[in-house]
Amino acid sequence: MNKKEGYAGIDYFRMIAAFLIIAIHTSPLATYNNTADFIFTRIVARTAVPFFFMTSGFFMIAEYNYNADKLKTFIKRTSYIYGISIALYIPVNIYNGYFTADNLLPNILKDIVFDGTFYHLWYLSAAIIGASIAWLLVKKIGLKLALIATAIIYIIGLFGDSYFGFSLQIPFLKSLYTNLFEVSDYTRNGIFFAPIFFVLGGTIASEKWHLSLRNNLIGFIVSFFLMLTEGLLLHKWGVQRHDSMYIMLIPCMLFLFSALTYLRGRRSSTLRNLALIIYIIHPMLIIVVRGFAKTVGLQALLIDNSFVHYLVVGVSSAAASFILVALMARIKVEPKEVCVYDGTDRSWIEVNLDNLMHNARVLQAAMPEDCKMMAVVKAEGYGHGALAVSKCLNKIGITAFAVATIDEGLKLRQGGIQGEILIMGYTSPMRAKELHKYELTQTLLDYDYAVLLNKQGYIINTHIKIDTGMHRLGFNKYDIDKIAKTFKMRYLKICGIYTHLCVSESLEITDVEFTHTQISGFYDLLDILSKQGIKLPQTHIQSSYGLLNYPEIECNYARIGIALYGVFSSGNDKTKLQLDLHPVLSLKTRIVLIRAITKGESVGYDRKFIATRDSRIAILPIGYADGLPRNISCGNGSVLIHGYRVPIVGRVCMDQLTIDITDISNTEIGDIVTIIGKDGQDEIFATEVAENSDSITNELLSRMGGRLKLVNY
């Protein structure tokens, strides 16, 4: 998904699907040829409803996404539409004698839950039930098993639908379905029919279906003709009780929908609303057209000619829907101007996702052709919010992420992040099952660790870490036998092998020499492994400075952390590659109190600040518990207010700090103060704050988090 544009193809097909559904209810070809009409309305047009289900599934269901918000919104919206539609058709129900039938109450209940109170309205209840079942299954057992489960349910439905004739021959099945039809008129409902299409939509959204446009189209054409054959045979044998469900409908829809996702462009909510309204009101227009034809004596043309009838109903439904959509747009009330709490009342981090994407593109462009960015998002994405950062990068096509701990990895997966998530640090083998279940990739810290993890009996994706001189984590590069043995372990899938450089930020000659021994040591090892017949997995060496100072290294990944966030570790670092990187994070707070201090009075702990003149001191609600280092106290740091620099005075406390604003007029409570970032002409870089506290930006940024609110823009 490299393109920013929306899925326009899906919106266009909504209109086609709406007209297919009108065809089902008007039999356009009946006047000319019954078989042709059967093929068109009972087979071809049967793709329409599954398409609508898949569309909803596509936007709502994704593997690992445990957030129920989208489902709730969908159920709410669909229930609302269902309620209005039921009300809309009550006059027709009355006219048809619906309310004078026996067993009224049980029938109404049955209709509301399964069959619809008017014949096409079953779709809305099926959407609610189907979506809920699909969502729950995917959450509980994962996408793959949910697909199998809903396929089984679909097959059960099939034998009450197009294949019912076969069930009639088996007494047990016959009585089973007879009982079932007491509760729901058809198996074409929210339980047996809809769920699989929601799951299929989610499967495509989760990028678990990788076919090119061409192969999807070939697949569609082949399965479409097989479906035609299937439908005609079943029709000929007379086994169909109803004709909504075919075996070939499943592959047919999978190929078709996947092909449609290739058609990109601007999304159209008008088409979406039009299709929905056409779906709901077209039966009404069938009644209107018939009434009109009778009144003006045009039955022969408008009713008896099925094709003209179809066209007139179709065009008038579209026209009526168009008018309704236009009217709705006109009466749409402007949302009230409510003050929304946006998290900027105390102290907050502003994350500029445009700059993040810019940096990602610049860094990716600096890598050799076959090298991909592995975005390092440990420690809440260096304070930027790991999930929001990863989602944003996922959208522009980055599919490899690195974190330090399993819980960081889980958070990303459960937030819906697709692709590889490498845990670079230690994970207890006790958590092997989670590694397996959430498809997290674990770093193998050394041989003993690999043995222990393998013993847990779960298939786990791993990368082998090699120690080439840092002497922290990793197999010793000379332990060839142990490394080779690890490749043969039964449960560990070795997807990568990597090392880490320890002085890559330095361009001093001895440091460069050391780094070259690390790099060549790693490649020598790879050579030996290759010669032993081991197929090499993905390789990676560089972190940010590794890339900036050794851009010639040709690996499969570069693990980029600090540079992605647009800053250097220290301000005076010089690098071989000079890239145009933009800082992503700003740290801001607001004045909560201003007090006057007389000359000679002190401010804060230890009385470290004594006023040498009558002063105005502003109190800011941010302290070292928010990640601001305590040693920027006492004039070691400054902040920006209204574009001017003012000093931090006294000691930074756990939750507050004090600044001297004597020289700045017009300051008020609530004014924004910038601690990192730009204000007017001046800018404070993270490197400056890091240096003022004798540290590096990596430490400074990764410690922020906790209490600070994150605001993305």
Name the residues annotated as catalytic.
Answer: 378, 605
Could you tell me the CA-to-CA distances from 216 to 4, 372, 553, 656, 693 in Å, in that order?
Answer: 22, 27, 38, 60, 58
Nearest to 220 by CA among 200, 248, 197: 248
558 binds ligand PLP (CB under 6 A): no
Given a contact cutoff of 8 angstroms between Cβ atoms, the answer to whether 46 and 242 are in contact is no
Among 282, 559, 588, 651, binds ligand PLP (CB under 6 A): 559
Q: Give the β-pairing of 475-476 and 460-467.
A: parallel
Question: How far apart are CB 501 and ligand PLP at their closest, in Å?
Answer: 9
Beta partners for 496? 463, 538
Question: How far apart are CB 427 and ligand PLP at their closest, in Å?
Answer: 14
461 binds ligand PLP (CB under 6 A): no
Q: Give the β-pairing of 538-540 and 644-649.
A: unpaired
Token pair recorded at residue 317: 């439904």
CA dihedral 661, 664, 667, 673 (to 10 degrees): -60
544 binds ligand PLP (CB under 6 A): yes
Given a contact cutoff of 8 angstroms between Cβ atoms, the answer to whether 526 and 541 are in contact is no
The stretches of 637-694 forming alpha helices (DSSP H) are 686-692
Q: How many residues bind ligand PLP (CB under 6 A)?
A: 13
Nearer Cβ to ligand PLP (160/474): 474
654 annotated among ligand-binding-site residues: yes
497 binds ligand PLP (CB under 6 A): no
End-to-end CA, the chain = 22
466 binds ligand PLP (CB under 6 A): no
500 binds ligand PLP (CB under 6 A): yes
Nearer Cβ to ligand PLP (381/415): 381
Stretch that binds ligand PLP, among 62-70, 101-109, 554-562, 658-666 (CB under 6 A): 554-562
Among 310, 698, 700, 703, binds ligand PLP (CB under 6 A): 698
Nearest to 545 by CA among 387, 697, 391, 346: 697
Given a contact cutoff of 8 angstroms between Cβ atoms, the answer to whether 265 and 15 are in contact is no
Question: How far apart are CB 653 and ligand PLP at their closest, in Å?
Answer: 30
Q: Rounded to the nearest 5 degrees, what angle is found at the Cα of 635, between the Cα atoms of 630 and 640?
A: 90
Nearer Cβ to ligand PLP (390/589): 390
Owner of token pair 């769920």: 195
Nearer Cβ to ligand PLP (124/567): 567
386 binds ligand PLP (CB under 6 A): no
In the window 504-543, what residues touch ligand PLP (CB under 6 A)?
543
384 binds ligand PLP (CB under 6 A): no
431 binds ligand PLP (CB under 6 A): no
How far is it, in rounded angstroms, from Cα 475 to Cα 463?
A: 11
442 binds ligand PLP (CB under 6 A): no
Stretch that binds ligand PLP, among 69-77, 207-215, 391-399, 559-567 (CB under 6 A): 559-567
Task: Give kind and range of the element (H or E) at residue 14.
Answer: helix 8-26
How far is it, in rounded angstroms, from Cα 77 to Cα 74?
A: 5
Question: How far apart are CB 424 and ligand PLP at their closest, in Å?
Answer: 5
376 binds ligand PLP (CB under 6 A): yes
Question: Coil, strand, or helix at residue 114?
Answer: helix
Closest residue (Cβ) to ligand PLP? 561
Beta partners for 374? 559
Among 54, 227, 562, 690, binds ligand PLP (CB under 6 A): 562
444 binds ligand PLP (CB under 6 A): no
Given a contact cutoff of 8 angstroms between Cβ atoms, the answer to whether 642 and 666 are in contact is yes
Token pair recorded at residue 694: 């004798």
77 annotated among ligand-binding-site residues: no
503 binds ligand PLP (CB under 6 A): no
Nearer Cβ to ligand PLP (578/665): 578
Specify binding-site residues: 472, 654
Q: Which residues of the shown chain bind ligand PLP in the complex (CB under 6 A)?
A: 376, 378, 424, 500, 543-545, 559-563, 698
Specify binding-site residues for substrate: 472, 654
